[in-house]
Amino acid sequence: MSGENAGNEFFRLTVNGIDHDVRDAWVGESLLYVLRERLGLPGTKGACEQGECGSCTVLMDGEAVCACLVMAASAVDSEIVTVEGLSTDGEPTDVQNTFVAAGGVQCGFCTPGLIVAVHHLLDRTPNPTDLEIREAISGNICRCTGYGRIFEAVRLARDARLAGG
Amino acid sequence: MSTSTTTRRRGVLGTSALRPDGLPKVQGRFAFSSDAWADNMLWGATLRSPHPHARIVSIDTSGALAINGVSAVITADDVPGQLTYGLISNDQPVFARDVVRFAGEPVAAVAADHPETARRALAAITVVYEVLPALTRAEEALDTGTTPIHPDGNVIRRQRIVRGDQSFAGDVVVEGTYDIGMQDQAFLGLEAALALPDDDGSGVELFVATQWLHEDQKQIAACLGLPLDKVRLTLGGVGGAFGGREDISLQVHCCLLALATGRPIKMQYGREESFFGHIHRHPATIWMRHHADRDGTLRRVEARVLMDGGAYASTSSAVLINAVTHVQGPYRCENATVDGYAVRTNNPPCGAMRGFGVVQACFAHESQMDKLAAACGLDPVTIRLKNAMRTGDRLITGQVVESVAPVERCIRETAALPLPPELSEHPDALQLPGGSGRTARRNNVTRGIGWGVSIKNLMYSEGFDDYATARCRLANGVATLQFATAEVGQGFVVLAQQIARSVLGVDTVLLEPISTAIGSAGSTSASRQTWMSGGAVDGACRLVRERLFEQVAREHHIDPLRLTIDGIDVIDSAGDLRVSVEDASRGLVIDETFEHHHRATEELDENGQGNCHVAFAFVAHRAVVDVDTELGLVKVVQIATAQDVGRVLNPLAALGQVEGGIAQGLGLAVMEEIVLVDGKMRNPSFTDYLLPTALDAPEVVVSMIEEPEPQAPLGAKGIGEPPCISVTPAIVAAIRAATGKDLARVPVRPQDIVFG
């Protein structure tokens, strides 16, 4: 259907500050599929298709959403930010750095979604308690780490921001 | 202030060197197998049986082929080579031909221009089934009157262990029957692969997430009817494995479609299909009877182990051997009578998952040790200390434990770790059992403490030579490593760099793509890659260093045996020569390959006697839980653990393995189970198969016990599996302590606590 049998949908998505024309998409395609397969942004991962695991977390008008649950064509008027767009200069963000430094990354498949979720948390709640951190990322399943080093990564990023770093 | 010349360099062994794939992973730049993409590629998809047992009357693919955008539909008739595959016996069809043996078994595959086209094509294939009665109870599979559901029969393997006095009866006898549910590996990165056919159609290249490239290559090539060198594999980024990628899933289908269409084929499972597409942890029923003296000294273990292997053998026979050879736990015991069976049913196939048979045995033997403690009037720690195995003790297989065996120290150091504070009178709702559902009332919450201790074999057993290969090239102060070791998340890529830095005195260590272009590394499983591939990288680097020393020695007319590495320099230990490795290797290319083999093991004889295992690791866990006894809800508050690791090579990575394994053991204890009804999975999704979240993660306090293992190339034991083994019985014991309930199955469900 990407070729001669394709749907004739045409819409425009604003992702990481750039307008993308989406042509010939099937109307049933999720935002996750369009980001990954049509816009060349595979950083956002899919692991459950049900909004349970958080691997596909992106920001949509500043809110953390599961891209697997959003129809791409319904996201036309929104500002979408993916893991690739958290920094514009290619340098890692503070959260990305602390995830590496604290050992919050093993297989890394849940990581992009977690990075987006933690940015969302710290941007709105600069000084989260440990329980607030746990609750904020409880929609992001990690199967490798048991979460301990991820909590540490979030605390490091939080403390550095509070210290004005 | 004095300056130390022994300051450890960054990134060498013993430091928390940062993994080289860390930054790409956090930035979304790391290419997982599901991110692979090729021009002109098609999407592959698999049609699966809805029935656990049925005869295939007919398959009509014409409806699918008539759909625009569909390029190929293949069935068993299109398999050019061997029609079946398997890790130990070739008993699993690439596609079912005459009969399907589990709900979810592949019947056909399609290639289409869009995933949605592929889905429609699958729906347009007409398969007529004659549904047969399903054999879904393992006990029935043992009955000789039951019709075999496979030409290989219904008993995959039986193994007895008979040792010592077969009529010994202890002063104190306790027994119980324990059930372990079917757990899923639930790796986050779903099965995915990209197959690229050679231009002339004579071979195929596959990018795939797997645990063992060379084993995949062997099985795929046989099914494609191609020589090995016509099937080339490169590791696609792997999003976790935990045993679930040892078996073939979509590999053969993907390659067949690529060869049939002459175009690149991308296949990836969704979560539901993943539950059908890979094997699971064996459900087991284990009966045990422990005999002890009145003072709690363990004298005899009797056990019957029954494991449901599902429809195909996978690694069931090896999982069974692990279970039966570990029933005594980490305790001395001279008399044993064990009967073990792995059987075939029409349930989904089971195979490897982290802990590999020992998880099941451990839940039973640790539950028994608590019963024995109670019967002898001892506490759980005392009885375990009293019977703790030591180096030199014999297992019930007759094998002497030659490994470092600090069981007593594991228990004592765990006991010395601080307990968590009491639950406050007015806790946050998130701290209560039930969490944010606010379903627990503080007044109904009772705290319990429980213990679990385990022994786990390392590497493959029973005569298998699971060697590992690595290559090291040194030029101009830069080392380049090549190996086929599957990096599945565990961090071998950083360990390999650390080894090269330590051995060679280099800072820059490059890694070649992980592929079949070099010899096998064996599987990333059995807690074996630090030992085996670590040993191979270490060996290759040492060969390179010898060559470098010879070169320096020739130039300076000294004996190469006098040379050693100090930091980033080659120095003369008997003189004042000091030259940097970079300078010493300028203009040279030193290239060496090394294979590491562990010592030989033996098969078990008919009485289960023999030196079948290579080495062992030990761990203790103490669990603290809060239980709402009225609603049956459990909150695991804290896990304390002391683990026998040999030597910590990367503290951060080691801690990550321990914490991660504990979370998986917690899952088996109180949450995770594939629910089967008449052979059909009822919860193949992340909505219904519950995994531990950030709110379920307990506080973890850890003591790493470092007693270097003389057998291990780096002194380090594998650390991946032990964390998830005895944590499960420890949690259940804590729930028993809080509730007084018997709780003989895992996972423990709310109804087990309330009505059990």
Residues A138, B695: C-beta atoms closer than 8 Å: yes
Query: At residue A3, does pLDDT exceed 50?
Result: no
**pLDDT of amino acid A9:** 75
Contact B705, B715 (CB under 8 A): no
Contact A43, A60 (CB under 8 A): no
Among candidate residues B326, B467, B464, B460, the one with its CA nearest the CA of residue B399: B326
Contact B287, B175 (CB under 8 A): yes
Contact B332, B179 (CB under 8 A): no
State whether residue A94 sits within 8 Å of chain B by CB: no
Q: How far apart are CA B429 and CA B410, in angstroms?
A: 34
CATH for B406-457+615-756, options being 3.60.9.10, 3.30.365.10, 3.40.50.720, 3.10.450.50: 3.30.365.10
Q: How far apart are CA B90 and CA B276, in angstroms?
A: 19
Q: Please indicate whether the domains covering B22-30+466-596 and B406-457+615-756 agree at the CATH topology level.
A: yes
Residues A83, B28: C-beta atoms closer than 8 Å: yes
Q: How far apart are CA B376 and CA B364, in angstroms?
A: 18
State whether residue A46 sits within 8 Å of chain B by CB: yes
* CATH assignment, A9-85: 3.10.20.30
Residues in chain B: 756
Contact partners, residue B104, CB within 8 Å, separation at least 6: B48, B49, B275, B276, B277, B348, B681
CB contacts < 8 A (A, B): 204
Q: B425: phi > 0 → left, psi -120 to 50 → alpha, else beta; which? A: alpha
Among candidate residues B459, B721, B715, B467, the one with its CA nearest the CA of residue B611: B459
ipTM score of the complex?
Answer: 0.97
CATH architecture of B22-30+466-596: 2-Layer Sandwich (3.30)
Distance from CA of A14 to the nearest CA of B (A): 18
Q: How far apart are CA B181 and CA B748, in angstroms?
A: 10
Among candidate residues A120, A101, A124, A123, the one with its CA nearest the CA of residue A112: A120
Q: What is the 3-state secondary structure (H, E, C) of B147-197?
A: CCCCCCCCEEEEEEEEECCCCCCCCEEEEEEEEECCCCCCCCCCCEEEEEE
Q: How far apart are CA B414 and CA B658, in angstroms?
A: 14
Residues of B in contact with A48 (CB under 8 A): 271, 685-687
Ranges of each domain in chain B = 22-30+466-596, 406-457+615-756
Residues of A in contact with B187 (CB under 8 A): 107, 109, 143
Q: Which of A23, A56, A107, A134 to mutate to test the interface with B (most CBs of B within 10 A)?
A: A107
Distance from CA of B378 to the nearest CA of A (A): 33
Host H or E run for residue B483: strand B478-483
Contact B238, B209 (CB under 8 A): yes
Residues of A in contact with B695 (CB under 8 A): 134-135, 138
Q: Which of A97, A105, A145 to mutate to test the interface with B (most CBs of B within 10 A)?
A: A105
**pLDDT of amino acid B3:** 40
Ranges of each domain in chain A = 9-85, 94-162
Residues of B in contact with A53 (CB under 8 A): 188, 686
* CATH assignment, A94-162: 1.10.150.120
Residues of B in contact with A101 (CB under 8 A): 18
Low-confidence ranges of chain B (pLDDT < 70): 1-8, 436-438
Residues of A in contact with B35 (CB under 8 A): 36, 42
Q: Summarize the confidence of residues A54-72 as an average pLDDT.
A: 98
For residue B6 the two structure tokens come to 């022994």
Contact B457, B358 (CB under 8 A): yes
Q: Is B492 exposed, middle or buried (0-12, 13-18, 19+ CB in 10 A)?
A: buried
State whether residue A147 sits within 8 Å of chain B by CB: yes
Indicate the pLDDT class of residue A1, thresholds 50, 70 and 90: very low
**pLDDT of amino acid B4:** 41
Q: Which of A48, A83, A137 to mutate to test the interface with B (most CBs of B within 10 A)?
A: A48
In the block, which residue shows the tokens 């003189």?
B575
Indicate the pLDDT class of residue A101, thresholds 50, 70 and 90: very high
